[in-house]
Structure 1
Amino acid sequence: MIEQVQTQNIQLLNSSFDVLEILSKHSISGVEFDSSMRSSATRCHPGTRQSILQDIWYWLGDNQHVDRLLWLHGPAGAGKSTIIQTLAEDAESSDRLAASLFFSDSTTSGDENFIVATICYQIAVKISCYRDFLAERMRANPRILEKRLREQFNELIVRFFKENPNTELGSVRIILLDGLDELASLRHGDQSTMEQLLALIVHLHTITSAPFLWVISSRGEHSIRRALSTSQTGFTEWLVPADSVDDVTLYIQDSFSVIRQKYPNLIHPDWPSDGEVSMITTAAGGLFIYASTAIRFIDDPRRKNPITQFAHLLSLLDTTQANQLIDKVENPFLPLDRLYTRIMVHIHHSVLPDTLQLLGYALFKQDTMNAWTLVSASNVLAYERHTAYSALEQLGAVLEIPNVDQAEDKNFRIFHSSFAEYLLSPVRSGDFVLDMDKANTHVWWCYLRILQDANDTGPSMHIHSLYPIQFRSLLPRRTLAATCKHQPDLDPW
């Protein structure tokens, strides 16, 4: 069987187009800047972030580059991903983008094996001579994409520039890596993949004349700083501040203008007052994630009542909450926490346990689980559709909730990690804290329930036929095999 697959791969490698097809199958889906899986990603609001964008483009346009890597870092909610998204769109429109990878908390450890193939695929789409080189290398070794990260990088990227030192790639030379701190291995305490990737990037420009310019973004992780600092070549480092007051003010003012246009019969042209706008811009403190979350709360399409929503928000800003647990000195994101608390307060106490269970499922970080659509969550947690939607209906400002007709295919996800951090901190979220130990335990008990249901059906029953989702995407094969070993006739697949 293996020989047959290898023969098919070799046959496919007879054309550059087929090389792209094979690379595509070994690429991480949904990480490109224009992927449909990133449909909610936005570029910088017009007129904002102009200074840092101009600085980045100046750096990218400097023909006397000593450093080939620019590291943008800053706190959660500072707008790093939006800046990288804007760079990607503008670089693509000017034919300068070689590749873009946007990592997120849905990126798994398994995906990390495909980082090199993902970069190679995007470059090969644009550069025909590189496409031909990949065809040659993969024809010589059809299993190269199964090698470790270092071997793939050296064989498919470094080798090309060693063998073709004078190759001109034209203007295509910008590679963007966003959310490097979201690598699954790094989240689990393993720094090896991140350190190796950065070392390979830096080493590439030590031993070759590769024309690439890399822009990576992350929070200010000490591990990333250490990895870059140990390299023999330099890098440029810029902080993305979380206090862009003028930019956030412009964004908020423009957003209110859009809301007024959306509801001309409901909203007075003078709404809101300058004083009310000042209150929200002051509370945002230049933090884009606060401003965007506030606007989502005000313009919640499920409620269609921005005046009432804004009044709720103002009441939060006007008063000190009884359950406030930390003061501003201890928590610079206290205004954001207050907003998240206000959103959570609207969840009825009768459905709050279900809400927290669903949020726990969304944050469940086990590598063995790669399906977290709303349907999969409902099936695993044994919720009816109406129960799941009832539990989530108040969270439109912080959660992307698919429509009913998309619930089987689209993930439900938290808009920004700052909300997850709020939920996981008992000091910040108080009564709404999410105990992930309990959440993880509950999910695994649900898995065991599903397996027990399968066992109870008797021999020769396919487990995945019991539930209207792709069952194999929910449980690791080893878990199924171990659980079902007492029934040898039970076929989990």
Structure 2
Amino acid sequence: MNSSARYPPPRCHPGTRESVTKAIFEWMRNLSRKWNVLWVFGLAGVGKTAVAQTVAETAKGEQMLGAAFFISRPRGQNDPGAFFISIAYQLSSRDEKYRRHVEEQVMADPGLLKKDMETQFQKLIVEPLSHSNNEQKLLIIIDGLDECQGTDAQRSIINLITSSAQHLPIIWMICSRPEYQIKSAFNADHVNKLCWRKEITVDDSETRRDIETFLWARFKGIAEKYGIRDWPAAEDLEKLINAASGYFVYAETVSRYVEDPCVDDPETQLEGVIQFIDSPAQSSTLNPFHYLDQLYMEILKDVQPQQRAHALQLIGISALYPSLPALQLANLLGLRRNRFEAALRRLYSVVEVTSDKPCQNPLRIIHASFIDFLTDPKRSGQFALNLDQLHADFAKACFGVISQTALRYAKNLVWKPEPNETPAFTVADHILTYCAKSAWEACYKHGDALDADLLKIVVQYRYSFLCFLRDKIPGETFHKWSEWLVRQIRLHNLENIVQPAEWDDDCLRDTFGSRIPDGVENNDVYAFTLGAPSKRVMVIIIDSSHVYFCEI
């Protein structure tokens, strides 16, 4: 708890997180408590460690703290083999009888400190505590369980603790992100009934007030230190509060940047942050979110390399295109359920996935700063989204969908809905509609970068299919795409599948006349044939916004 490696330790700022800490203190002091294990969970950056530190300091002051272990991957303090050894060491400093029993165990088996966790837990925690004289239950705090090395070790720690929680003179407070393996362990029937859960929420009214309290206090201190008056402006502080969206890590990162002693100019630093918030891509300011970026780096390092490409693709599409329910997005990209869930399994702290209703709920990026990070290669480095490739791959996937009928596509779904969910045909039709709207935008967002596979698909596509999709295709988007296609044909010397047609042609008027609104002039109409022979369609675009198709 007082390790020099953690100095100064994060703790709750006075006047913040009061409802969370109050509830925890009531549980801690309640001799008639129902649960001896508390799981405090929340997304990355919401302040779990600060809550754990505050509770630890209060418990220590009330002679209730048995041990506190703050796991940290960046500091290298995440070895599961050292976990129960550290807790035993801290408990030994409080209880003479406990210490003697631990010493006897180690003397009897010198190799105990190198044995598996189950053996260490039994010999260093359970058996010595069974002989303890403590009348009052001591609190043991474990913070950052999700950073402990190995998901199996994380599950084992939860199972070991809960298996003996009702029989020992201790209570446990475990803090972590809601990662998949940890949620699964706590949701198991034999564990669930033994635990109380407390979520540290994001961006509710109380959290917003806490962020405001924190920032006002920090900036007041900075202003006094530098002799600045009437600073910061209320509107600037409001922008910071809105940008933080309930994330203390964001507020803390910003305040540290503004107060940077190496720069010694908080007013200019704050101006840079506001400029970064208003126009991140145009800002010339050095990155004010270095510490936040480091957090995101650590999170992404947890994703297995073979899963990372799918994870970044799913996140990028969810952020840059209209949202789509998880099941539909997975099918669009050809990902079976197990591959979809595996790709996102280590990202629950930055991406919200509601697995119980995949037919209804889309992926949600928890904080906009995560996308800002991913789309800026200077910040995200190896994890940066390759936007050209992302748009090209998304376009190819959309063309693959709109090459099929809804009935055929329903049969080809790789992740089929459950019998009590939305029918497969309805799911397929929704995806087909989505792709008919999005394929064209993805192409022109890809720009002029050469992607031979995408251009081959575009040139060889059977455009007569568009006659069945005409009510689903937005005219303005399709018009932009047609201009993009003409440019690609010229730039990359492709087969010219776009041939102009004259609106005055009697054939065109006979074919489309009944569909065209009255009063349309010749110069309002853009007519052309699209596609290779036998795959061709006549296209009429009016006022760059209405599009009509007819097979020829």
Instruction: Tell me if TM exceeds 0.5.
Output: yes
Distance 2:98 2:63 in 1: 16
Q: Deviations over 1:38-96 (max 9, x none)?
A: 00322111111111100000111222223211111111110000000111111112211
Aligned residue among 180, 184, 187 for 1:226: 184
Q: CA deviation at 1:424?
A: 11
Answering whether residue 182 of structure 2 is matched by residue 182 of structure 1, we say: no
Tell me how far apart the structure 1 counterparts of residues 152 and 52 of structure 2 sit (CA, whole Å).
24
2:104 is matched with: 136
Separation of aligned partners in 2, 1:432 and 1:245: 27
Question: Is the alpha carbon distance of 1:38 and 1:345 closer, same or farther for their aligned partners in structure 2, counting shifts above 3 Å?
Answer: closer
1:254 to 217, 229, 234: 217
**Matching residue's letter, 1:253:** W
Code of the residue aligned with 1:263 in structure 2: it is Y
Instruction: Report the Cα distance in structure 1 between the residues aligned to 2:75 and 2:378, rounded to whole angstroms.
Output: 30
Aligned positions of 1:340-355 closer than 5 A: 343-344=286-287
Deviation at 1:106, TM superposition (A): 2.9
Alignment-derived partner of residue 50 in structure 1? 18
Q: Is the 8 A contact 2:78 2:148 kept in 1?
A: no
The 2-side partners of 1:46 and 1:422 are apart by: 26
1:16-27 correspondence to structure 2 within 5 Å: none
Deviation at 1:247, TM superposition (A): 0.6
- The percentage of counterpart residues that share the same residue type is 28
1:216 and 2:163 equivalent?
no
Report how many aligned residue pairs link the two structures: 314
- Do residues 192 (structure 1) and 155 (structure 2) align? no
Per-residue deviation at 1:309?
A: 0.7
Distance 1:424 1:88 in 2: 34
Paired position in structure 2 for 1:303: 263
Contact 2:17 2:210 in 1 (8 A): yes
Question: In 1, Cα distance between the equivalents of 2:223 and 2:88?
Answer: 46
CA distance in 2, matches of 1:235, 1:248: 29
TM-score, normalised by the number of residues in structure 1: 0.58
In 1, Cα distance between the equivalents of 2:77 and 2:238?
A: 44
- Quick one: structure 1 residues 176 and 302, their matched pair in 2 at CA, closer, same or farther if it must change by over 3 Å? same
Out of 51, 60, 64, the residue aligned to residue 96 of structure 1 is 64
**What is the distance in 2 between the residues matched to 1:279 and 1:239?**
26
Task: Note the C-alpha offset of 1:236.
Answer: 0.8
Give the counterpart of 1:152 among 117, 120, 123. Answer: 120
In structure 2, which of residues 364, 376, 384 is the aligned counterpart of residue 429 of structure 1? 376
C-alpha separation between the residues in 1 aligned to 2:99 and 2:176? 30
**Aligned mate of 1:263, from 226, 250, 273:** 226
Please say if residues 146 and 179 of structure 2, whose CA atoms lie closer than 8 Å, have aligned partners that are also in contact.
yes
Partner of 1:78: 46
Counterpart AA for 1:113: G
Greater relative contact order (CA < 8 Å, ≥ 6 in sequence): 1
Counterpart-to-counterpart distance in 1, 2:371 and 2:237? 31
Amino acid at match of 2:13: H
Q: Aligned-pair distance for 1:123?
A: 0.3
CA-based RMSD of the aligned residues comes to: 3.4
Q: Deviations over 1:424-460 (max 9, x none)?
A: 99744344332279xxxxxxxxxxxxxxxxxxxxxxx
Report the alpha carbon displacement of residue 160 of structure 1 after superposing the two structures with TM. 2.7
Q: Choose 1 or 2 for highest CA Rg.
A: 2
> Aligned letter for 1:246?
R
Q: Judging changes above 3 Å, is the alpha-carbon distance between structure 1 residues 58 and 100 closer, same or farther for their aligned structure 2 residues? A: same
- Structure 1 distance, partners of 2:88, 2:111, is 15
Could you say if the C-alpha distance between residues 345 and 38 of structure 1 is closer, same or farther in structure 2, counting changes exceeding 3 Å?
A: closer
Deviation at 1:242, TM superposition (A): 2.1
Structure 1: state its 5+ residue gaps.
1-32, 186-190, 324-337, 348-355, 366-416, 438-493
Report the Cα distance in structure 2 between the residues aligned to 1:86 and 1:360, rounded to whole angstroms.
26
Q: Is the 8 A contact 2:68 2:140 kept in 1?
A: yes
Q: 2: CA distance between counterparts of 1:212 and 1:89?
A: 17
Match of 2:244 among 284, 309, 318: 284
CA 231–154 in structure 1, closer or farther in 2 if over 3 Å, else same: farther
Q: Is the 8 A contact 1:422 1:428 kept in 2?
A: no
For the 8 Å contact 1:108–1:183, the answer to whether it is kept is no
SS of 2:79's equivalent in the other structure is helix
Distance 2:112 2:299 in 1: 34
CA contact (8 A) 1:423 1:429 kept: no
Paired residue secondary structure (2:224)? helix
Q: Aligned ranges for residues 202-213 of structure 1 at < 5 Å? A: 202-206=162-166, 209-213=167-171
Specify the code of the residue in structure 1 equivalent to 2:213.
Answer: L
**Shift of residue 315, structure 1, vs aligned partner:** 1.9
Cα distance in 2, alignment partners of residues 90 and 364 from structure 1? 34
Does the Cα contact within 8 Å between 1:104 and 1:182 map onto a contact in 2?
yes
Give the unaligned 5+ runs of structure 2. 303-348, 351-367, 385-552
Kindly report structure 1 stretches of 4+ aligned residues shifted beyond 6 Å: 359-365, 421-426
Provide, for residues 188-242 of structure 1, a one-character-per-residue CA deviation record: whole Å limited to 9, x for no partner. Answer: xxx2111111111011125xx3121111111111211211222524211111012
- Kept in 2: contact 1:425–1:433 (CA 8 A): no
* Cα 1:125–1:424 shift into 2, 3 Å: farther
Say which SS state the counterpart of residue 177 (structure 1) adopts: strand
Deviation by residue 1:368-389 (Cα, 9 ceiling, x = unmatched):
xxxxxxxxxxxxxxxxxxxxxx
Q: How far off its partner does 1:132 sit?
A: 1.1
Q: Secondary structure at the match of 1:64?
A: coil
TM-score normalised by the chain length of structure 2: 0.52
